[in-house]
Amino acid sequence: MDTSGLARLDRRIADCRACPRLVDWREEVARTRRAAFADWTYWGRPVPGFGPPDARLLIVGLAPAAHGGNRTGRMFTGDRSGDVLYQALYDVGLASQPTSVHAGDGLELYGVRVTSPVHCAPPANKPTPAERDACRPWLVQELHLLRPTVRAALVLGAFGWQAALPAFAEAGWTVPRPRPAFAHGARVTLDAADGPGLHLFGCFHVSQRNTFTGRLTPGMLREVLRTAAGAAGLPVRN
Ligand code: SF4
């Protein structure tokens, strides 16, 4: 068993029941299932972050999908958003394979960790502000544990951006006032009084709404991943 601080945190997150609405929803979805996944035993619990404990680049999404992470137990695994994200990570040399189907499929991330500000699947992919705030301490703890190595963060979408900025501040980086606005291609450097800064990047979320309409293309995603990975000091493939 992995006994690193991050692995211990992940196990504690997976046992969290702090949000009654989300606990009910994630467990109901796990009981009723989607017909296409009728033979699956759904995870039905909070989905911890995924990736090595010494990651230099952190990718921050929104929340697990009901039939994706909530089914497979791994971030962005088993849904269309994850198909797009992991294909791009593989294309730029940051993942061992282009697909992410189930938690035992052998996927490894190279210097990258994927997490979200809300760890339980919400109805209609919309956590409430109270649920977002209830989950923030988990992200703050994850950031504290990653601080020795993490040098860049790529935030997918405006919700993640708004949820993550206070967590970055609580974890010790200085967030400018007024808070920087989310945009695809936004780039901000967060300084820290007692250590290295963090290069923060914004990217449209890899949701089907964005990828099916061409608002976010695979080329755009690869480009921002390469830029963020470069800022983090990770080698990438062109
Ligand atoms: S969303 Fe976060 S705080 Fe709420 S139950 Fe899930 S893990 Fe716990």
What's the pLDDT tens digit per position in 41-59?
A: 999 999 999 999 999 999 9
What's the pTM? 0.97
The rounded Å distance from CA 11 to ligand 1 centre is 13
pLDDT interval class at 1 (50, 70, 90): low
Pocket of ligand 1 (CB under 6 A): 13, 16-19, 22-23, 46, 118-120, 131, 134-135, 138
Give the pLDDT score at 201. 98
Q: Which atom of ligand 1 is nearest to the CA of 137?
A: 3
- Residue 105: CB atoms within 10 A of its CB come to 14
Q: Which atom of ligand 1 is nearest to the CA of 17?
A: 5
- CATH class, range 5-232: alpha beta
Q: For a pocket test of ligand 1, which of 13, 22, 62, 136 has the largest count of ligand atoms closer than 8 A to its C-beta?
A: 22
